[in-house]
Chains A and B, each alone.
With several copies, the nearest count.
Chain A
Amino acid sequence: MKQMKKIINSPQDVVPEMVDGLVRSYPEYLERIPDTEAVVRSDKASMKGKVGIVSGGGSGHEPAHAGFVGKGMLSAAVCGQVFTSPTPDQIYKAIQAVDQGKGVFLVIKNYSGDVMNFEMAKDMADVDGIKVKSIIVDDDIAVENSLYTQGKRGVAGTVIMHKLVGAAADQGASLDELEELAKNALPHISTLAVALSAATVPEVGKPGFELADDEIEYGVGIHSEPGYRREKIKTSKKLVGELITKLDEQQHLDPEKQYAVLVNGMGATPLMEQYIFSHDVLDKLAEKKIKPAFMKVGNYMTSIDMAGISLTIFELTDKKWLEYLNYSVETVGW
């Protein structure tokens, strides 16, 4: 087992130091909410009269979520311990910090921890009379959906959701309108990943799982949750083939329809590989006579130092959605 080799101080201080580094590096965008690991826009005027958008989750997914705080996107983000949901008191403080009397919309990834902690924060805000609505993002199609389990996980598609509700809120959408937008868009967002290596949580000190030097795993989650199949490593073309076949089963890709595509590096995968992968994605889609109306490639929802990549396909059934994706923002990460 390889030893952990990271540019950190003490594993316990990873989150506070990281949040501090981010906020102080970008004072033009970001401010820390006092006594929390939560980050809020420093441009307060940009939030005036608008519904606040709060997201967050465990840390280790940088630039998600704090990197998406800024005019046109999130109002605040709450940073939990590494791979651990933030606590309700912190989420609650973020809700208070962004509420302008128009209510606050929460973007939550579908993990038991996140859902419960955000719900408790919502309960606290209720007592305050702050109107709070939310969407639980569950775009990872690696996991079967089922009423009897936790259901699908929230992964890179969450960033698409941030962008949509962020843009709509900036344009003055009401809390109810945001909820409707989020609910309508959600089923059209699907993501699937392939991992070349697992992430190492600093406090754990070793990778979440082991893959042989020539092995990859399809369907791995952003916290090293196990995927659906291990194989010998394949060419980029073949990896893309597998992911698109699965995404197609879900989405029924159709040349008559419009799509947005997000290619997302998991943290240790260089852009070189991401662009090659994108080349193969575009080729594969072109075979199906599809040319994305919107595309983005880079590190958006990472898994610390995991090597791997995820592919998100978002069917644009409403033409407003493309506008929201293209809407200009002022953030560190988008």
Chain B
Amino acid sequence: MAKEEAEMLTVELTKKWMELFYDEIDKNKAYLSELDTPIGDGDHGNNMKRGVTGVKEGLAKLKEPDLKATLQAIAMALISKVGGASGPLYGTAFLEMAKKCNETQKPEELFTVALEGIKKRGGAKEGDKTMVDVWAPIVKTFSDGSFSKEEIKKAVESTKDMEARKGRASYLGERSIGHLDPGAMSSGYLFETFIDAGGTK
């Protein structure tokens, strides 16, 4: 596990990141919906695809934006295109980052406020089998420098054995055990593409 320091967030990095995120979601749309079928309503891939398409269009419209405008555009696209549970959560995450980014561009600090936003918006805690179970451990990896694809995969995998207590999967109770959480998976893609975009030195 490579111990690497994270890059500061810039407009270029963010744009590259969103391009790669688009590709990853596009590639895995069916898989995300499949994950959402046994424990949800089978639309997470479609929802996210609408979202990243909106992000692409939103960013294309911006002329020489600063980081705040960039993050805000991402947030608004996600909020207005995704719908469902994941839309407000991803949207809030980027909105919180936009609010904070004039103060700091350190990924760990921005992801920390994003995670707080997600928790506040959705009320989920760690262990509830949601995207929080990827965001929370990953944010922690920044402090000990263990942020990496391995850690991301581990976090995503960890949702498999959990019993859902938030979102649609919670209606299944115990029967939700044994399935990966789709929102955890898409959050995994988000962090992986951050790495691929050069988010670590």
Complex A–B touching at CB under 8 A: yes
Which B residues from 72 to 98 make CB contacts under 8 A with A?
Answer: 76, 79-89, 91-92
The chain B residue with its CB closest to the CB of A89 is B80
Whether the pair A150, B166 counts as a contact (CB closer than 8 A) is: yes
Q: Does B42 contact A (CB under 8 A)?
A: yes
Query: How would residues 79 to 95 of chain A score, 1 for a CB under 8 Å from any chain B CB and 0 otherwise?
Result: 01111111111100000
Cα distance, A88 to B82, chains bound together (Å): 10
Whether the pair B83, A113 counts as a contact (CB closer than 8 A) is: yes
Which interface residue of A150, A204, A226 has the most chain B CB atoms within 10 A?
A: A150
User: Which of A66-74, A217-225, A268-276, A321-329 forms part of the interface with chain B?
Assistant: A217-225
| Shortest distance between the CB of B30 and any CB in chain A (Å) | 10
| Shortest distance between the CB of B88 and any CB in chain A (Å) | 4
Q: Does A235 contact B (CB under 8 A)?
A: no
Which A residues from 116 to 146 make CB contacts under 8 A with B?
Answer: 116-117, 119-120, 143
Cα distance, A86 to B82, chains bound together (Å): 8
| Shortest distance between the CB of B69 and any CB in chain A (Å) | 18
Which B residues from 4 to 26 make CB contacts under 8 A with A?
Answer: none
Interface size class of A (residues with CB under 8 A): 20 to 34
Whether the pair A112, B167 counts as a contact (CB closer than 8 A) is: yes
Q: Does A334 contact B (CB under 8 A)?
A: no
The chain B residue with its CB closest to the CB of A86 is B83
Whether the pair A225, B171 counts as a contact (CB closer than 8 A) is: yes
Whether the pair B85, A87 counts as a contact (CB closer than 8 A) is: no
Whether the pair B85, A112 counts as a contact (CB closer than 8 A) is: yes
Contacts of A117 in B (CB 8 A): 83-84, 87-88
Cα distance, A228 to B137, chains bound together (Å): 34
Whether the pair A116, B168 counts as a contact (CB closer than 8 A) is: no
The chain B residue with its CB closest to the CB of A226 is B172
Query: How would residues 188 to 232 of chain A score, 1 for a CB under 8 Å from any chain B CB and 0 otherwise?
Result: 000000000000010110001000000000000101111000000
Whether the pair B172, A204 counts as a contact (CB closer than 8 A) is: no
| Shortest distance between the CB of B47 and any CB in chain A (Å) | 6
Q: Does A111 contact B (CB under 8 A)?
A: yes
Contact status of A201 and B83, CB under 8 A, knowing A148-B165, A150-B167: no
| Shortest distance between the CB of A103 and any CB in chain B (Å) | 23
Contacts of B41 in A (CB 8 A): 83-84, 201, 208, 223-225
Cα distance, A226 to B170, chains bound together (Å): 11
Whether the pair B83, A87 counts as a contact (CB closer than 8 A) is: yes
Contact status of A120 and B83, CB under 8 A, knowing A150-B170, A204-B33, A225-B171: no
**6 A-B contacts, Cβ less than 8 Å apart?**
A58-B84, A87-B87, A88-B80, A88-B88, A113-B86, A208-B37
Spell out B's residues near A (CB within 8 Å).
33, 37, 41-43, 46-47, 50, 76, 79-89, 91-92, 121-122, 165-168, 170-172, 175
Known A-B contacts: A85-B84, A113-B88, A149-B166. Give 5 more (CB < 8 A).
A82-B43, A84-B43, A89-B79, A119-B88, A120-B91
